[in-house]
Chain A
Amino acid sequence: MIAVRHLTKQYPTHLAVDDVSFEVGARETLVLLGTSGSGKTTTLKMINRLIEPTSGVIEVNGTAIGERKLHELRREIGYVIQETGLFPHYTIGENIALVPRLLQWDERKIQDRIRELMAMLRLPETFLKAYPSQLSGGQRQRVGLARALAAQPSILLMDEPLGALDPVTRSAIRREFRNLEEIRQKTIVLVTHDIREAFELGDRVALMDGGRIQQIGTPRELLLRPVNEFVRNFFADQWLSLQLHAFSLQDLSPYLPDEATSPPEARLFPAHTQLADVMSELSGPETIVFQSNQRFITIQSATIWPALGQLLQNQSVS
């Protein structure tokens, strides 16, 4: 869907992006992770041409973006930013309808789409006539997402979308986003400086520093097989908790007891659930169960860590 080749942005004072290349497949989420000044936001803004590259090529759906009409290209790409960028003088409804109206959709279709999005993002319809300043930060963030999704773009660019929110709201909204079917259908490039956010949302993560991609890969690859000291040090602080984001229940199945039938009173989880989500759901010595290869596998908070230990040992051996 998106191919970036040898992208470079040279400012008079410094080199912001230095020969960056990557591809993002359909329905994949790529996270550009890095500290401020690493070049991640500059890279993102070159994809919708808010910034023009000094050299390099970006293709979207096989066409070089330089050959597209600027505003047409942008209307096909959803754009979500920190603080949401909602128009303060537009109502919530008008904000969401912005791009469909630019595309001259039929007004009935626009209204249907707004209601669909409001329901999907659990925003009460009474908000439609409210102004952004009357909403909480988390609600505004959802409206920002609804606006980006409104015209059904296949690509979403997100620049620190949750940056303005407090940690509790952040993780709640993050989980909500991740579980939305419509978002899972999108090709997403997301910029963040939050490592947990990157691991939780990214299918792959590109860790950037000094304008270059230090390493690109799945969270698991970055965590377990760092290519250099920089990458290793970057994750060192949160190494343990990041593992819970890097692995799912499925990954643990070889190291846990299995049974032919589900034990009574145990809660059933989908096998792809991230361990971090499992941990946050578990309270006390509860047993939960998931299905793998027609077998039921049980797990308790006490058995997660030993199983994870075995998994990591095997990973490092192979």
Chain B
Amino acid sequence: MQEFFEFIVEHADKLAEQTLTHIGLTFLSLCIALIIGIPLGVLITFRPRIVGVVLGSVGVLQTIPSIALLGFMIPLLGIGPGPAIVALFLYALLPIVQNTYVGIREVSPALKEAARGMGLTPWQVLVRLEFPLALPVIFAGIRTATVINVGVATLAAYLAAGGLGEFIFGGIALNNTNMILAGTIPSALLAILLDAGLARLQKLRGLGRYRVMAVFFLLVPVLSSFYLVPGAGRPKLSAGFAHEFYGRADGYPALLRTYNLHLASRLIDQNLMYEAVRTDLVDIISGYSTDGRIKAYNLRTLTDDKHAFPPYEAALVVRQNTLKQHPELQPTLDLLAGQLSDSSMTELNYQVDHLHQSPAAVARQFLTSAGLLRKREDQKRQGNIVIGAMIFTEQYILAEIVRQLVENRTALEVITKTGLGGTKICFDALIAGDLDLYPEYTGTGLLVILQPPLAVSDTLQVSTKAVYQYVSREFAQKYQLSWLKPLGFNNTYALMMRESQAEQLGIRTNSELKRYLDH
């Protein structure tokens, strides 16, 4: 509990910004849903033939799982606030259209006939009779839509649109409960407050009701504009950081410590980060130096001239028990040592990310051209090992390489568990025995798992070799885990910018970025 409040206090700025963005996203999409949904609901009362089609379509939209709907947005509209608002709007549409239609339909036919009989035009019947009488029902729909949107808006962070979901996704990636709660509690409170407030509006009687509802309708655009508030006064360059980078000691905090580099950042799914910088949604991202998209998107990797980020040599981390149990395993895995350079790893990533080849096919090509595969004989499988991989392309490829190599050269059956949220999750699973090995990076092992005193890590960080030696010694002693020989490449954190912008601003290193921002 104490830690939770400390987290809140520490991140108060970010939290306030996220809350404002969240309210803005909710109401902006609600506003559009009102502008389109209410007239649509009214229209279908005049056109009974299209009622089925319209309510059916908006109903189907509602049945799409929210995360899938957001996922669909990426190929259709890309990432950023636009697609997120479209998705939220589509979600809010059903309750508003349906309740408008039902509310108007439920107005007594005798009353409508009386109104027409007195000489009201169809428009006057709508405005003076049907709409006011349907308003409580319409409001019930708005209430439902608002509460749904507060919830679904947490997923907007997935599209790099901000909101309280940033902390939720980040917390999940980092296995940080306080961070998850810091996103969850405010969004739940927001939902409860809005629900209770709108419920009170709905229960109002008499003339007051119409006044208050009118105020609400005016308030929606005002609340929508909250989305813009955190953007005001944004510095020259904006950054999009992966959740892990934002939270990990060797990520953004290291950058702060070494360069005193403060960036207005948005938390973005690491797979979408590159898309975000490519489409100008942000200017700087926290990439990985071997990512295939650096090449594909023409990004510039800024040189870490003060060594804020430790070296991240990739190597397999294996349980010592597993190595003892299957003595054939270590010699097999050691065949991979030094086989992958930075550029060859970048190329493999590029093939998967951009040429859309499967990790399995890319792994096979790599192993074949490296001459590591033996002629295949069908073996009877005996025993098995479990390989873990984190949720990014490189890890998928590495897991495939290991799987194919081991199955080719030993009788072991290999089970892969891919898509794990991050280092903390993989490491815990390894300790618990749920995994036998996974590809890890030396710098991560140092700073996320071992967390030595600053003085120790600062001295180590300068030398790639020193870090490897330190982590392999410490892991063996503390956790009975073996670091196998490095695979050869160094996938470190790096800040990246669009080549064209970086060229124009003359930024090549982190220090130059700092200097540019300070002036």
Which residues does A use to contact B, with CB under 8 Å?
45, 48, 50, 71-76, 79, 81-85, 87-89, 98-99, 102, 131, 147-148, 157
| Residues of B contacting A75 in the complex (Cβ-Cβ under 8 angstroms) | 118-119
Q: A46 vs B110: C-alpha distance in the bound complex, in angstroms?
A: 16
Which residues does B use to contact A, with CB under 8 Å?
110-111, 113-121, 124, 128-129, 132-133, 206, 210
Q: A102 vs B128: C-alpha distance in the bound complex, in angstroms?
A: 11
> Is A74 a contact partner of B119 (Cβ separation < 8 A)?
yes
> Is A102 a contact partner of B133 (Cβ separation < 8 A)?
no
- Can you report 7 A-B residue pairs in the complex whose CB atoms are below 8 A from each other? A79-B117, A79-B118, A82-B110, A85-B114, A87-B111, A88-B111, A131-B206
Which residue in chain B gives the minimum CB-CB distance to A72?
B119
Q: A100 vs B159: C-alpha distance in the bound complex, in angstroms?
A: 56
Given contacts A87-B128, A87-B129, 14 further A-B contacts (CB under 8 A): A45-B117, A50-B116, A71-B119, A75-B118, A81-B114, A85-B111, A85-B113, A85-B115, A87-B115, A89-B132, A89-B133, A98-B118, A131-B206, A157-B117
| Min CB gap A69→B, angstroms | 10
> Is B124 a contact partner of A102 (Cβ separation < 8 A)?
yes
| Min CB gap A55→B, angstroms | 22
> Is A102 a contact partner of B111 (Cβ separation < 8 A)?
no
Of the candidates B113, B116, B118, B132, the one whose C-beta lies within 8 Å of that of A99 is B118
> Is B117 a contact partner of A74 (Cβ separation < 8 A)?
yes
Q: A81 vs B120: C-alpha distance in the bound complex, in angstroms?
A: 16
Q: A87-B129, A131-B206 are in contact. Are A74 and B111 (CB under 8 A)?
A: no
Which residue in chain B gives the minimum CB-CB distance to A99?
B118
| Residues of A contacting B206 in the complex (Cβ-Cβ under 8 angstroms) | 131
> How many residue-residue contacts, CB under 8 A, span A and B?
53
| Residues of B contacting A71 in the complex (Cβ-Cβ under 8 angstroms) | 119-121
A interface secondary structure, majority: mixed
> Is A50 a contact partner of B113 (Cβ separation < 8 A)?
yes
| Residues of A contacting B124 in the complex (Cβ-Cβ under 8 angstroms) | 102
Which residue in chain B gives the minimum CB-CB distance to A82?
B110
| Min CB gap B481→A, angstroms | 73
Of the candidates B118, B133, B210, the one whose C-beta lies within 8 Å of that of A74 is B118
Which residue in chain A gives the minimum CB-CB distance to B135?
A89
Which residue in chain A gives the minimum CB-CB distance to B206?
A131
Q: A75 vs B120: C-alpha distance in the bound complex, in angstroms?
A: 8
| Residues of A contacting B110 in the complex (Cβ-Cβ under 8 angstroms) | 81-83, 85
> Is A81 a contact partner of B117 (Cβ separation < 8 A)?
yes
Q: A83 vs B111: C-alpha distance in the bound complex, in angstroms?
A: 9
Q: A99 vs B124: C-alpha distance in the bound complex, in angstroms?
A: 12
B interface secondary structure, majority: helix
Most chain A CB neighbours (cut-off 10 Å) among B113, B114, B119: B119
> Is A50 a contact partner of B128 (Cβ separation < 8 A)?
no
| Min CB gap B31→A, angstroms | 25
Closest 9 CB pairs of A and B: A85-B114, A74-B119, A75-B119, A79-B117, A71-B119, A89-B132, A71-B121, A81-B114, A85-B111
| Residues of B contacting A85 in the complex (Cβ-Cβ under 8 angstroms) | 110-111, 113-115, 117
Q: A73 vs B120: C-alpha distance in the bound complex, in angstroms?
A: 11
Which residue in chain A gives the minimum CB-CB distance to B116?
A50
| Residues of B contacting A157 in the complex (Cβ-Cβ under 8 angstroms) | 117
| Residues of A contacting B113 in the complex (Cβ-Cβ under 8 angstroms) | 50, 81, 85
| Residues of B contacting A45 in the complex (Cβ-Cβ under 8 angstroms) | 117
Most chain A CB neighbours (cut-off 10 Å) among B110, B111, B113, B117: B117
Q: A157 vs B117: C-alpha distance in the bound complex, in angstroms?
A: 10
Q: A79 vs B118: C-alpha distance in the bound complex, in angstroms?
A: 6
| Min CB gap A51→B, angstroms | 10
| Residues of A contacting B118 in the complex (Cβ-Cβ under 8 angstroms) | 74-75, 79, 98-99, 102, 147-148
| Residues of B contacting A102 in the complex (Cβ-Cβ under 8 angstroms) | 118-120, 124
> Is B133 a contact partner of A48 (Cβ separation < 8 A)?
no
| Residues of B contacting A147 in the complex (Cβ-Cβ under 8 angstroms) | 118
Q: A157 vs B114: C-alpha distance in the bound complex, in angstroms?
A: 11
| Residues of A contacting B115 in the complex (Cβ-Cβ under 8 angstroms) | 85, 87
| Min CB gap B385→A, angstroms | 72
| Min CB gap A103→B, angstroms | 8
Most chain A CB neighbours (cut-off 10 Å) among B115, B118, B129: B118
Which residue in chain A gives the minimum CB-CB distance to B209?
A89
Q: A148 vs B114: C-alpha distance in the bound complex, in angstroms?
A: 10
| Min CB gap A102→B, angstroms | 6
| Residues of A contacting B120 in the complex (Cβ-Cβ under 8 angstroms) | 71, 102
Q: A87 vs B111: C-alpha distance in the bound complex, in angstroms?
A: 7
Q: A148 vs B120: C-alpha distance in the bound complex, in angstroms?
A: 13
Which residue in chain B gives the minimum CB-CB distance to A85?
B114
Q: A54 vs B119: C-alpha distance in the bound complex, in angstroms?
A: 22
Q: A286 vs B113: C-alpha distance in the bound complex, in angstroms?
A: 49
Q: A248 vs B206: C-alpha distance in the bound complex, in angstroms?
A: 49
| Residues of B contacting A50 in the complex (Cβ-Cβ under 8 angstroms) | 113, 116-117
| Min CB gap A71→B, angstroms | 4
Q: A189 vs B497: C-alpha distance in the bound complex, in angstroms?
A: 83
| Residues of B contacting A81 in the complex (Cβ-Cβ under 8 angstroms) | 110, 113-114, 117
| Min CB gap B205→A, angstroms | 9
Q: A7 vs B118: C-alpha distance in the bound complex, in angstroms?
A: 22
| Residues of A contacting B116 in the complex (Cβ-Cβ under 8 angstroms) | 50, 74
Of the candidates A73, A88, A131, A148, the one whose C-beta lies within 8 Å of that of B133 is A88
Q: A71 vs B125: C-alpha distance in the bound complex, in angstroms?
A: 11
> Is A48 a contact partner of B117 (Cβ separation < 8 A)?
yes
| Min CB gap A197→B, angstroms | 20
Which residue in chain A gives the minimum CB-CB distance to B132?
A89
Which residue in chain A gives the minimum CB-CB distance to B124?
A102
| Residues of A contacting B129 in the complex (Cβ-Cβ under 8 angstroms) | 87
| Min CB gap A171→B, angstroms | 24
| Min CB gap B96→A, angstroms | 21
| Residues of B contacting A76 in the complex (Cβ-Cβ under 8 angstroms) | 119
Q: A45 vs B109: C-alpha distance in the bound complex, in angstroms?
A: 14
> Is A99 a contact partner of B111 (Cβ separation < 8 A)?
no
| Min CB gap A164→B, angstroms | 11
| Min CB gap B107→A, angstroms | 10
| Residues of B contacting A84 in the complex (Cβ-Cβ under 8 angstroms) | 114
| Residues of A contacting B210 in the complex (Cβ-Cβ under 8 angstroms) | 89
Q: A87-B128, A89-B133 are in contact. Are A99 and B114 (CB under 8 A)?
A: no
| Residues of A contacting B111 in the complex (Cβ-Cβ under 8 angstroms) | 85, 87-88
Q: A147 vs B114: C-alpha distance in the bound complex, in angstroms?
A: 11
| Residues of A contacting B119 in the complex (Cβ-Cβ under 8 angstroms) | 71-76, 99, 102
Q: A50 vs B122: C-alpha distance in the bound complex, in angstroms?
A: 12
Which residue in chain B gives the minimum CB-CB distance to A81?
B114
| Min CB gap A121→B, angstroms | 18
Q: A48 vs B117: C-alpha distance in the bound complex, in angstroms?
A: 7
> Is A79 a contact partner of B132 (Cβ separation < 8 A)?
no
| Min CB gap B330→A, angstroms | 82
Q: A119 vs B129: C-alpha distance in the bound complex, in angstroms?
A: 27
Q: A79 vs B110: C-alpha distance in the bound complex, in angstroms?
A: 12
Q: A138 vs B115: C-alpha distance in the bound complex, in angstroms?
A: 21
| Min CB gap B133→A, angstroms | 6
| Min CB gap B202→A, angstroms | 15
| Min CB gap B161→A, angstroms | 40
| Residues of B contacting A98 in the complex (Cβ-Cβ under 8 angstroms) | 118
| Min CB gap B129→A, angstroms | 6
Q: A58 vs B110: C-alpha distance in the bound complex, in angstroms?
A: 24
| Residues of A contacting B117 in the complex (Cβ-Cβ under 8 angstroms) | 45, 48, 50, 74, 79, 81, 85, 157
Q: A69 vs B118: C-alpha distance in the bound complex, in angstroms?
A: 13
Which residue in chain B gives the minimum CB-CB distance to A102?
B119
| Residues of A contacting B121 in the complex (Cβ-Cβ under 8 angstroms) | 71
Q: A48 vs B133: C-alpha distance in the bound complex, in angstroms?
A: 25
| Min CB gap B177→A, angstroms | 50
